[in-house]
């Protein structure tokens, strides 16, 4: 976890679970690596500690399996994206649920993903994902998968190819206007 605290119920639940399992909290740092099965994971940025904007403390992880790569952005925002140069990535888990505060054009031009996954609740009160982000993804011909439309999204890699259990979003730019 990043070295930042809050008083939210979710944060308190996480602390309770850690305590109940007698686990030790560690803070990953940029460049650290670990394995998940045969896949390699790398911490891509250090958290930005800002009590006014907890999204900036998101830990960004890149997973590679064979020739395929996945970038998990959490709630990271444009300020996080600007922390480094980014490698090309096949699948992007879009930052901050498709909010206007993430997924900049400059970032997308660096990573050049084939697929974007947006985790967002149906009819959410924030109006996410934002049309501006969907348009940005579509203009780069990125296939968009959304949990509000497709429920659970499963992206499967054999190290050479990536497949999904869900149809990608077929909304055209015209339907966004």
Is residue 17 included in any domain, yes or no?
Answer: no
**CATH assignment of the domain containing 115:** 3.60.15.10
Is residue 71 included in any domain, yes or no?
Answer: yes
Q: Answer for the pair 79, 95: CB distance below 8 angstroms, yes or no.
A: no
Is residue 6 included in any domain, yes or no?
Answer: no
Is residue 13 included in any domain, yes or no?
Answer: no
Structural domain span for residue 152: 28-168
Q: How confident is the model at residue 24 (pLDDT cuts 50, 70, 90)?
A: very high
Quote the pTM value.
0.88
Domain count, the chain: 1
Is residue 147 included in any domain, yes or no?
Answer: yes
pLDDT tens figures, 60-116: 999 999 999 999 999 999 999 999 999 999 999 999 999 999 999 999 999 999 999
Terminal-to-terminal C-alpha distance of the chain? 39
Q: What average pLDDT is seen over the chain?
A: 91
Is residue 2 included in any domain, yes or no?
Answer: no
Is residue 58 included in any domain, yes or no?
Answer: yes
Is residue 37 included in any domain, yes or no?
Answer: yes
């Amino acid at each position: 976890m990043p070295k930042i605290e809050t008083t939210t119920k979710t944060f308190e639940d996480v602390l309770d679970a850690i305590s109940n399992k007698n686990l030790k909290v560690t803070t990953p740092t940029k460049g650290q690596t670990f394995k998940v099965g045969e896949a390699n994971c790398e911490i891509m940025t250090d958290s930005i500690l800002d009590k006014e904007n907890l999204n900036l403390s998101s830990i960004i992880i890149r997973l590679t399996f064979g020739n395929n790569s996945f970038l998990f952005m959490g709630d990271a925002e444009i300020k996080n994206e600007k922390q480094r140069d980014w490698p090309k990535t096949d699948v992007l888990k879009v930052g901050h649920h498709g909010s206007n505060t993430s997924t900049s054009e400059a970032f997308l031009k660096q990573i050049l993903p084939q697929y974007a996954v947006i985790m967002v609740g149906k009819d959410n009160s924030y109006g996410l994902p934002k049309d501006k982000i969907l348009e940005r993804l579509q203009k780069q011909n990125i296939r968009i998968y959304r949990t509000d439309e497709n429920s659970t999204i499963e992206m499967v890699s054999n190290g050479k190819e990536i497949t999904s259990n869900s149809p990608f979003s077929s909304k055209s730019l015209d339907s966004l206007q």
